């Protein structure tokens, strides 16, 4: 499935992600700037913060409890904020659009 990563400056990266991996892995393995993933996906660093395009809000799984707690500590969150290491890539997410916050570099 293809995932569209949009940097805070509008630059778009379309990545052909592998199902079963996380959106964070798809970004870091393809060197997409703006998603860091310091903790390797353990949901403990919040450097994989992204905004899920509203059109996709219902298609990604809901936030989990640890993710909620981590996002609480992030300043620039919105209602569509997610930690991308907690979103698993699957066929239904083909075309998913996520945006990265300006602060995450």
Q: Which residues bind ligand FES (CB under 6 A)?
A: 24, 37-39, 41, 43-48, 70, 83, 85
- The nearest distance, CB 101 to ligand FES, in angstroms, is 13
Nearest residue to ligand FES, by Cβ distance, number only:
85
Residues 6+ apart with CB under 8 A from 34: 5, 7, 8, 27, 50, 100, 101, 104, 105
Nearer to ligand FES, 14 or 36 (CB): 36
Tell me the helices (H) and strands (E) count for the chain, helix number first: 2, 5
- The nearest distance, CB 77 to ligand FES, in angstroms, is 13
Nearer to ligand FES, 6 or 22 (CB): 22
- The nearest distance, CB 44 to ligand FES, in angstroms, is 6
3-class SS of residue 93: helix
Radius of gyration for the chain, computed over Cα atoms and rounded to the nearest angstrom = 12
CB atoms within 10 A of CB 8: 15
Taking Cα atoms as reference points, which of 48, 55, 104 lies closest to residue 80? 55
- The nearest distance, CB 12 to ligand FES, in angstroms, is 21
Nearer to ligand FES, 6 or 24 (CB): 24
């Amino acid at each position: 499935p293809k995932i569209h990563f949009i940097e805070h400056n509008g630059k778009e990266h379309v990545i052909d992600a592998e199902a079963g991996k996380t959106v964070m892995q798809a970004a870091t393995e393809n060197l997409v700037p703006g998603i860091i993933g310091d903790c390797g996906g353990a949901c403990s660093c919040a450097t994989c913060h992204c905004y899920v395009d509203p059109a996709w809000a219902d298609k990604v799984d809901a936030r989990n409890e640890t993710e909620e707690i981590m996002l609480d500590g992030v300043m620039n969150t919105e209602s569509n904020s997610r930690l991308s290491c907690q979103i698993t890539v699957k066929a239904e997410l083909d075309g998913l659009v996520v945006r990265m916050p300006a602060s995450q570099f």
